[in-house]
Amino acid sequence: MTAGSMRVAGAIDIGGTRTKIGIVADDARILKRVTISTTDRGDPEPLVNGIVAALQPLIDEYRGDGTTSVAGVGVSVAGFLDPTRSTMVANANLPLLCNFPLRQALEQRFGLPCALEVDSNAAALGEYRHGAGQGAARLLVVTVGTGLGGGVIIGGRLLRYTGECAGDVGHIIVDPEGRLCTCGARGCLEAMVSSAALIERSRRRAVRDIVHAAQHGDRRARNAIRDTAHWLGIGLASLTPIYAPDRILVGGGVSSAGDLLLGPARATYATHVAPEFRGVPITGSSLHGWEGMVGAASQLFDPME
């Protein structure tokens, strides 16, 4: 790499509903970004083809400018990974990628090294290195969207055990009489706070419509967000004694509700958590929904095990 040149990486954040794609610089600037639907036809090839069609022209643009080094492609994927971090092995919300050799397929298509990371870990990395998690000694990041994931960084290292992450934190039971979860259990935290739960409560079609309505005073939308926040607060209070965070961040699509969600979640958290943890701050993502892409790309520049 010549003096004055810039390092970039391709970045892919595969969620249950949408896949975010772009180019990220090593200082966390997102230089290009697009979003495609996470196509689920029971076959991973259409999704892989869509990702390659969207990202390859962006990579070629930076490869050809003579001043940029492309480090590879960082991939954030919802679900558990195998120990080699080459294949997603479990996710009830994204079954088409289970046991598909995703890293190998993308490396072959792009001709570049790829790093796979659990989406919750990638979000935690993005926030810890470049966002609201900087300086935290014990950071818990939860992402709430189609599902709910959690990433934990303690002493500058990712917590990895089940599925190469901090475990399936979305599937603690918060309400035994609650909604049926995609995992088959009832009343999981994910089932109570996911986008599907919020949509069901508000009787609207999309999270962005609910948030817009709530911001403009719609009572049903506000109540739906408040009820979702109640279960989020209980879930965070339940997770806190396990991970003992000194900071909690909430990201993902549902978090776009901002303080309409986080305000009542903080109140419920304070009511139910042990007194020693009542001062733990709970804030929203500072990377505006792109933390997974930023974190995935960062694994190409400076891998964190």
Q: Are residues 42 and 148 in the same domain?
A: no
Residues 211 and 255 in one domain: yes
Based on the fold, state whether residues 21 and 140 are members of the same structural domain: no
Task: Say what the pLDDT of residue 93 is.
Answer: 82
Q: Tell me, what's the pLDDT at 68?
A: 87
Question: Is 269 a member of any domain?
Answer: yes
**127 occurs within a structural domain:** no
pLDDT value of residue 239: 98
Which CATH number goes with the domain that contains 152?
A: 3.30.420.40
Of the candidates 285, 280, 193, the one whose C-alpha atom is nearest the C-alpha of residue 241 is 280
Has residue 129 been placed in a domain?
A: no
Q: Are 252 and 157 members of one domain?
A: yes
Residues 278 and 139 in one domain: yes
The answer to whether residues 157 and 193 belong to one domain is: yes
Each residue's pLDDT, cut to its tens digit, for the chain (305 residues) gives: 454 578 999 999 998 889 999 999 999 999 999 999 987 667 899 999 999 999 999 999 998 777 889 999 999 998 899 999 999 999 888 888 999 999 999 999 999 999 999 999 999 999 999 999 999 999 999 999 999 999 999 999 999 989 999 999 999 999 999 999 999 999 999 999 999 999 999 998 899 999 999 999 999 999 999 999 999 999 999 999 999 999 999 999 999 999 999 999 999 999 999 999 999 999 999 998 899 999 999 999 999 98
Q: Same structural domain for residues 149 and 247?
A: yes
Residues 216 and 233 in one domain: yes
Same domain, 106 and 160: no
Both 174 and 46 in a single domain? no
Prediction pTM value: 0.93
Number of domains in the chain: 2
Model pLDDT, residue 288: 87
Would 187 be classed as within a structural domain?
yes
Q: Are residue 150 and residue 231 in the same domain, yes or no? A: yes
Please indicate, yes or no, if residue 276 is contained in any of the structural domains. yes
The predicted pLDDT at position 67 comes to 83
Do 279 and 184 sit in the same domain of this protein?
A: yes
Domain holding 29, by residue range, is 6-122+290-301
